[in-house]
């Protein structure tokens, strides 16, 4: 883990463990959010995937509230258990 600032717009983390020659450094938090963002966006090609990564890096950190959620957590919130209503 290097002491390098995260390349994502608006992120103040400086301990980055991920690096891309094209996109720069990402902290663990932004890396997890990027993976969730990609899964939710469902790219259809590698070109689209690269554009999504670029868009993610350029978006201000707080612009994507769903990216802070784990996919399982998001789905669980969307589909509440019926036991809560019984």
The domain spans of the chain are 2-85
Q: Which residues, in sequence order, are bridge partners of residue 26?
A: 18
What would the pLDDT profile of 47-81 be if each residue is shown by its tens digit? 788 888 898 898 888 775 555 556 666 666 667 65
Cβ(34)–Cβ(49) below 8 Å: no
- pTM (predicted TM-score): 0.69
Cβ(30)–Cβ(8) below 8 Å: yes
What would the pLDDT profile of 30-49 be if each residue is shown by its tens digit? 998 898 888 888 878 887 88
């Amino acid at each position: 883990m290097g002491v390098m600032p995260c390349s994502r717009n608006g992120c103040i983390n400086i301990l980055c463990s991920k690096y891309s020659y094209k996109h720069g450094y990402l902290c663990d938090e932004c890396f997890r959010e990027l993976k969730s963002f990609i899964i939710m966006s469902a790219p259809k090609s590698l070109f689209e995937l690269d554009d999504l990564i670029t868009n993610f890096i350029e978006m201000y950190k707080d612009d994507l509230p769903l990216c802070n959620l784990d996919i399982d957590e998001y789905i669980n919130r969307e589909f509440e258990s019926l036991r809560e209503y019984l």
